[in-house]
Every structure is written in structure tokens, then in C-alpha cells.
Amino acid sequence: MSKSIVENKNIRTYKMRIKDKKFKSKVIDYIYKYRHFENMYIILLNQDYKQNIGDF
């Protein structure tokens, strides 16, 4: 098994069907906020690693 397949082994996709439009918009908003937080966290960790601060 190649390394890329092993690394991607934990990736999962979920599908939801939501009929309530208000709830749907809240869920989508939450997902985008979480993804933004996750991306910012990765960027900050990368900067910390490159600057060799070591406070992560």
C-alpha cells in the first residue's frame, strides 16, 4: 500500500439532508467557521515551526 493511500485512510465524507432552511444555514455557517479556525491554526503552527519558537 502506498504512503499516500495510508495517509488518506482517515478521510471521511458525510452527507446530510436538512429540510429546515434556518437550521441548514446555521450548520453551514458553523462548518465554515470551524474550517477557517482550523486553517488559521495550521498557518500559525507552520509559522511557529519556521521561526523555531517552540511554544506549540
CA distance 42 to 17: 30
Range of the domain at 24: 20-51
CA distance 45 to 54: 9
Residue 11 lies in a domain: no
Q: How many domains does the chain have?
A: 1
Residue 14 lies in a domain: no
Does position 7 have pLDDT exceeding 60, yes or no? no
What are 24-46's pLDDT values in tens digits?
Answer: 889 888 888 988 998 899 998 88
Contact 48, 56 (CB under 8 A): yes
The residue assigned the cell 432552511 is: 21
Residue 3 lies in a domain: no
The model's pTM is: 0.48
Residue 15 lies in a domain: no
Residue 32 lies in a domain: yes
